[in-house]
Amino acid sequence: MVRSLCFFVLLPVVLSQVQQGPIGAGQIPDDLLKSPESHSHLFHGDIKLTPAQELNMERYGNPYGTPLGRAASSVDKERWPNAVIPYEFDCSIANMESAITSVKRAMAEWEAKTCIRFKPKTTETAFLQFFRGQGCWGHVGHTANYMSQISIGDNCDFHHVMTHEIGHSVGFWHEQSRPDRDNSIQVLWENVLPGLEDAFAKRSWGTEVIDYGSKYDFASIMHYPFTAFSKNGKPTIRAIADMQGKTPYVELSPDDAMQTNAMYKCDAVMRKRMADDFEANFKPLPRIVKRSNTCSDKSANCQSYKDSGLCNAHADSLIYWCPVTCDMCSSDSCMDKKGNCKAWVAGGHCQTNPEALKIDCPYSCNFCGTPNTPPPPTQAPTPEPPTALPPTAQPPTPSQAVGLRCADKRSKCPTYAQQGECVKSGWVFRNCLISCKAKCDTQPLKPDGDCANALGLGWDFTLPDSAFTSSSTLTPGGGWSAPAHSARLYFEDDRNRKLIGGWCMTARDNNQWLKIDLGKEKKITGIATQGRDVFYEHVEKYELEFSRDGSSWTKYPKVFNGNCDHFTPVLNRFNTQVARYVRVLPYNLPNQYAWPCMRVELYGC
């Protein structure tokens, strides 16, 4: 899929306790209140329909493909099998610490309150991918053999934003789209951004949404904040019912959890999961005496095991782990060796099979007379089964340089850090790298070896602006531009001069170039590149040309790998070239996903 650069985009629906920075991937940072692009690919503001759902919308006016909409029997198709969601972090987001943190915190919240579990993708063909895209959006539910996605655009890396977007993947639409919403809220249409009215459209009972018996929930994580998609900063939603002190779009509410547990039949899922864990982790015990000075449970999950019927199904193991809860206690001098003894007593087996029961159930069968031979020491069975899946995998370790210059950009950064905002707010994390103790660079990227010094494009910016020229310059409006001299490694958006952090092209074709004049001939041995500051635009592949006089050019015989994310520097070394001029040629632009923008440093001596 090819994504064009959008100059005005959906404002991410973000709540935060701190001041917000620039909003919207690809957006003019200074011009937030103009009408966004129509975004026909999004539904209800932040939902991406599958191609089949888009076709059904055209034919039937709903995503489910029948004149009546979604039938009850099709609900199962949108549930992730066994309530487990395989996921992966795309390379565009894998090194972005604030995004990974917000996603994992959101996953932990869903796992703590529901039976939903997340596991790193292996061979699954249906899975959830997190990537750096334009704005905050996601697909709804599970689709067989389909990669669902969640886009983490600029200012989307907040815990509550990711909890909301994961809610779509779980299978939820929006709370304010309920058919009965007019009893609880009023939409203030006069304040809604033109073109986004459908974000507040109501759905239909039974055919499209099911409430599982819950009332309208002002506390739902799936409820828009009251200024969502506002064209003027005024509320777009007003409560007309008692909110009872609740605030929407903050955390997974009790009703959110209840509906999830009903949708996924979590009671049955958890019972099966518990039994499967036992089968995988508990092995039959040898006939040993399980003794202790006192009869006590050794697991915090005994009541759950009992409720799931495991006291009987796995009695030989539970006599060790949960003798109190499972009612299996006996005396220290005469102990049962099996967990089923009480059932065997009730079945008369003490009388019908006394020889075996004298060994297995002497206490319950009242066979204790003279003291038995002292029992061997207690032996623990195999480890207690896990109650949750293993922790999610960490993203790949960044390269030698992170690509973010260590700095606190706000005077209140130490205060924000003390208040815990570093883990709550992606905006605080990005703007307070020092106070948040983030991974960042205190010095520029430098390759190993001789003749590998930075040649002045980035970091200290010693090469003059006049040394940079290009085939084209993006000027999106509002006085902002992305000229050639913005193509400096580590260069960030300059709001005073309205310079975008990176050189961006006006067209996605193979005739684009960036030329650097080093002032005199130098030995050139390497190049590092980044994408555009803040947003996701970058160049995936490029070629290099070298010249001594600026008119006769020699192309290096290699296509270099560029960037997948917008900030991690990618270093490429090559055979020494003697030149004054270097030309970077973005390669195969018509087929790359992101709009082409880049920042550069050259190395040599």
Confidence (pLDDT) at 462 = 96
In three-state form (DSSP H/G/I as H, E/B as E, the rest C), the secondary structure along 334-358 is CCCCCCCHHHHHHCCHHHHCHHHHH
The arithmetic mean of pLDDT across residues 32-45, rounded, is 50
Which comes out higher in pLDDT, residue 40 or 507? 507
Confidence (pLDDT) at 64 = 66
The arithmetic mean of pLDDT across residues 369-376, rounded, is 42
Residue 38 has pLDDT above 60, yes or no: no
Residues paired with 598 in a beta bridge: 503
Which residue, among 289, 311, 283, has the nearest Cα to 299 in the 3D structure?
A: 311
Residue 438 has pLDDT above 60, yes or no: yes
The arithmetic mean of pLDDT across residues 355-382, rounded, is 60
The arithmetic mean of pLDDT across residues 55-77, rounded, is 57
The catalytic position among 88, 97, 109, 165 is 165
Confidence (pLDDT) at 517 = 98
pLDDT class for 363, splitting at 50, 70, 90? confident
CB 359 within 8 A of CB 89: no
How do beta strands 474-477 and 480-482 pair?
Answer: antiparallel
Distance of CA 416 to the CA centre of its chain: 23
Kindly state the tokens that stand for 125.
């063909």
3-state secondary structure of 229: coil
The answer to whether 159 is a known ligand-binding residue is no
Residues paired with 88 in a beta bridge: 129
CB 570 within 8 A of CB 551: no
CB 392 within 8 A of CB 119: yes
Which comes out higher in pLDDT, residue 197 or 308? 197
Which of 11-25, 347-361, 471-485 is the most confident on average? Answer: 471-485
Residue 52 has pLDDT above 90, yes or no: no
Enumerate residues 6+ apart whose C-beta is below 8 A from 263. Answer: 75, 79, 170, 171, 210, 212
Distance CA 542, CA 455 (A): 20
Which residue, among 262, 166, 248, has the nearest Cα to 211 in the 3D structure?
A: 262
Residue 57 has pLDDT above 70, yes or no: yes
Comparing 50-59, 81-90, 176-185, the range with the smallest average pLDDT is: 50-59
The answer to whether 223 is a known ligand-binding residue is no
Confidence (pLDDT) at 397 = 35
- C-alpha pair distances (Å), 320 with each of 144, 186, 295, 346, 367: 42, 59, 9, 22, 21
The arithmetic mean of pLDDT across residues 405-416, rounded, is 93
pLDDT class for 61, splitting at 50, 70, 90? confident
Kindly state the tokens that stand for 256.
């959110």
CB 542 within 8 A of CB 584: yes
- C-alpha pair distances (Å), 520 with each of 79, 462, 463, 523, 547: 63, 14, 12, 10, 11
Distance CA 259, CA 252 (A): 11
How do beta strands 554-555 and 541-547 pair?
Answer: antiparallel
The answer to whether 485 is a known ligand-binding residue is no
Mean pLDDT of the chain: 81
Which residue, among 220, 163, 218, 225, has the nearest Cα to 200 in the 3D structure?
A: 225
In three-state form (DSSP H/G/I as H, E/B as E, the rest C), the secondary structure along 520-573 is EEEEEEEEEEECCCCCCCCCCEEEEEEECCCCCCEECCCCEECCCCCCCCEEEE
Residue 388 has pLDDT above 60, yes or no: no
Continuous segment of H or E residues that includes residue 262? helix 254-263
Which residue, among 262, 200, 249, has the nearest Cα to 223 in the 3D structure?
A: 249
Catalytic status, residue 165: yes
Residues paired with 137 in a beta bridge: 151
CA dihedral (276, 277, 278, 280) positive or negative: positive
- Residue percentage of the chain with pLDDT more than 90: 53
pLDDT class for 11, splitting at 50, 70, 90? very low
Share of the chain residues as helix, strand and coil, in percent rounded to the nearest 5: 25, 20, 55
Distance CA 35, CA 330 (A): 75
In three-state form (DSSP H/G/I as H, E/B as E, the rest C), the secondary structure along 171-192 is CCCCHHHCCCHHHCEEECHHHE
175 φ/ψ angles, rounded to the nearest 5 degrees: -65, -40
CB 302 within 8 A of CB 350: no
Which tens digit of pLDDT belongs to each residue from 82-100? 999 999 999 999 999 999 9
Distance of CA 263 to the CA centre of its chain: 22
Confidence (pLDDT) at 27 = 34
The arithmetic mean of pLDDT across residues 328-346, rounded, is 73
Distance of CA 333 to the CA centre of its chain: 56
The arithmetic mean of pLDDT across residues 32-56, rounded, is 64
Number of H helices, E strands in the chain: 14, 20
Which tens digit of pLDDT belongs to each residue from 251-272? 999 999 999 999 999 999 988 8
pLDDT class for 475, splitting at 50, 70, 90? very high
N-term to C-term CA, the chain: 41
Which tens digit of pLDDT belongs to each residue from 193-235? 998 888 898 876 555 567 777 899 999 999 999 999 999 999 9
Comparing 9-13, 495-499, 555-559, the range with the smallest average pLDDT is: 9-13
What burial class does residue 208 get, using C-beta atoms within 10 Å of its C-beta: 0-12 exposed, 13-18 middle, 19+ buried? middle
Which tens digit of pLDDT belongs to each residue from 319-332? 777 888 888 876 65
pLDDT class for 294, splitting at 50, 70, 90? low
- C-alpha pair distances (Å), 135 with each of 238, 306, 598: 25, 47, 20
Contacts of 552-559 with CB under 8 Å at 24 or more apart are 553/583, 559/587
3-state secondary structure of 581: strand
